[in-house]
Structures are given as C-alpha cells and as structure tokens.
Chains A and B, each alone.
Chain A
C-alpha cells in the first residue's frame, strides 16, 4: 500500500465524521469531547514521531540503525512497563530490562527468521514494535501479581522456608501466579469469536497488501511469539529479581511479616 492509494476525499470525510462526533459531545458531554480531542492530538503527535523514525529507517535501510532503534525500544518498554506496574519497585528496572530484552529478542528473532525472505530493517522494527507493545501490556500485570503475591503470602512463604524449602521452592507459587497472569493478555484477545472480528493485525496485513493466507499464517505466528515472549520475559525478570526484591534473609524488602 502506498500513500497514493489513499483518496484525500475519504480522509476529509473521516475528519468530518470526527468533527461531527466531537460536536455531538460538545453539546451533551464536554468532558468526553475534550477527552476525544486530547487522545486524537496525542495519537497525531505519536504517529508523527513513529513516521519520522520508520521513514528514516526505510530511507537509510541500515541494519545497524534498525538494531539501535530496537535497543532504544527495549529500554523504553522496560521503563514504561515498570512505571505502568505502579509497584514503586524502581530496583526492578534491570531485571525488567533483561526480561524485555530476552522475550522480545528471542520471539522477534524467530519471527524474522520465519519471514527471512522479506526480512529488512523496517520489518525488524515493525515486528519489535508489535512485540514490545504486547510486553507493555503483559509485564506490568505479571510484576504486579508477583509482588502482590509475595506481599500477601508472607506467612506461607516463611512456613515453607522454615520447614526445608529452598528459595526456588518457596517462590514457586508466586512465580506460577505471575506466569499465569503474563499469558492472559495473549489469550484474552483470542478467546472471543474471531470469525467476523479477527485480530487487528490481520486487518493490518490485508491493508498492507498481504494475501489472506499469508495474513492468517502471520497472525498465528505472532500469537505464538507473543505468548512465548510473555512467558520468557516474566521468567527472566523474576529469576533476576531476587536481589532487588528480597533482603539477605530472603524476606521481601519493606514488608513486615505478621
């Protein structure tokens, strides 16, 4: 799909529709109108930034620039995921970064390998965008679950450790809860009836010019990659979190046992 394929009259009509919706809310509900306006402005700003860097990558067509871009995306995803988790565990940045890097690079690598015939710097960045976006949804939830589980099961944790459990055994219930939470965003979108409402990425691929069969295969590949990357990222993050979350006695920092 090229910019020349987009008819300017259609764009104008869509803007008119947006103006109509906002006018309706301006009359009935000014708060919602402002909200729509804010989101539309934010979306336009974000898309301008995305356009700038994807256009640059397309023009330069350099793998080094694409890899550097991917690294920036990984760091930004880790930082945003930590902020989004609202756990106030700033010490968790490095484990989170390692988790995002492991999950996104393994799954992204496999996807790019799967479409190596059309692999390009821009494709790499596009795949990593999808994977990082997914982690931004999954990782805050799994970190929240893990921290909350450790905080609320202190008695059971101490009981297990005191009666012979290794640290790994005592942490296992909380790890399992976090892993379970990490796959929920992948499963949630797929558990509804998809026949008439396939995932947005499927529609995106068709719009981009992919054949229906290629779009179906690619959607399936992305589903598996996202599922795997959530589990890998959560597992790596938690495996590296002991020093950040637990004190030298194995107790969670800043939490009083009762």
Chain B
C-alpha cells in the first residue's frame, strides 16, 4: 500500500508537499508550526481541501466523495481531543467512543486490553495522547496517523511500522525523528 501526496498545497502552507509513505515504514512530518502539521494530517484524512496537486492511496484519489471509504483504512490519534472550553459546556467526549461505532464493533476491547496496550505504548498513562495512540492501534487499521506523539512512544510506533503498518506521524521530537524511516520537512 502506498500513500502519496503529489505537489499538494493546502491553505496556510508556504510550499507544496510531495511524499510517498509505504507499509512497513514510519514517516515523520516535521518543521512548520504544530497547527500546520495537524492541518497536513487532516489533508491526508480528506477533511481539508487541497489548493493544488492530489492525494492518493494506491492510486485511488482521496477526493471528498472517496474520503469516507478510504478513511476505513486509517486510524487517527490527534494531539488532543477537546478544544478549550468544550468540556465546560458539553459532556466530555470519551476516547473510547470510537469502539461504539458500527464499523468498529468487531474490535475486541475492554479496560484490560486498553490498559495493556497503553502500557506497551510506554509513555505516561495520564497523558491523553497515550490513550489515543493505544485506541488507534487497537482499531487495527493498516494506516496509522499520529499527531504529535509523546517522545516515549517513538519506539512503540517504530515497532508498529516493523509489524507492517504504515505509520505517519507529525512531530518535532528528536526521539521520534531518530526512529523514523523517512523524514519529510514541511
């Protein structure tokens, strides 16, 4: 499986981005601001429009209409889950909500399984990013998109890539950059 961005320009980016991510490899997007890196992940998920170029998975263009189908191949762990003030007004969303979705009902999940996976991630269990990464891995999709993972999770993510997943992360952490197979400067 190949995830390709060809001369893609999105709003807020100073220059176009071309990259090719593959199964079994960990690709790290670095440079720019945290907001820009997050935006590039959303482009890969099909949530942001592209001004030029195209995004494709195995040659299939990631258009607005094809995105919901292609997203079935991906699992996404954002850098945070709640916006500032959100939980004050609304009920706090649960990380594990995704397991209640119809498409994920087959995924085996329990508090024990999640705790064990979080332990394997190797980062601070109180950090919500650790939980988000563990949930993304437990969804067992071929493409993992991780926004700003904790440095301590770098080896775990590299291991996921060795086990055959396509891992795409956004990070400035030197430990993450060290274990990445491919570094893409934004």
Majority DSSP secondary structure for residues of B touching A? mixed
Stretch at the interface among A117-125, A208-216, A243-251: A243-251
**Does any Cβ of B come within 8 Å of A257's Cβ?**
yes
Contact, CB under 8 Å: B47 / A160: no
**Does any Cβ of B come within 8 Å of A152's Cβ?**
yes
With known contacts A160-B98, A164-B101, A164-B103, A153–B93 Cβ distance under 8 A: yes
Question: What are the residues of chain B within 8 A of A148 when measuring CB–CB?
Answer: 89
**Does any Cβ of B come within 8 Å of A241's Cβ?**
no
Contact, CB under 8 Å: A163 / B104: yes
What residue of chain B has the Cβ atom nearest to residue A257's Cβ? Answer: B42
Contact, CB under 8 Å: A152 / B86: yes
Identify 17 residue pairs between A and B in the complex whose beta-carbon atoms are under 8 Å apart, listed by A's number: A149-B90, A153-B86, A155-B80, A155-B82, A156-B81, A161-B45, A162-B71, A163-B76, A163-B101, A164-B139, A165-B101, A165-B103, A169-B102, A249-B49, A250-B67, A251-B47, A258-B83
**Does any Cβ of B come within 8 Å of A56's Cβ?**
no
**Does any Cβ of A come within 8 Å of B35's Cβ?**
yes
Contact, CB under 8 Å: B46 / A249: yes
- Minimum C-beta distance from B107 to chain A (A): 9
Contact, CB under 8 Å: A159 / B81: yes
What residue of chain B has the Cβ atom nearest to residue A151's Cβ? Answer: B83
* Cβ 8 A contact of A177, one of B42, B72, B90, B139: B90
With known contacts A152-B86, A159-B78, A249-B46, A258–B35 Cβ distance under 8 A: yes
- Minimum C-beta distance from B170 to chain A (A): 14
Question: What are the residues of chain B within 8 A of A152 when measuring CB–CB?
Answer: 83, 85-86, 89-90
Contact with A along B66-80 (1 / 0, CB 8 A): 011001101110101
Cα A162 to Cα B43 with chains together (Å) = 11
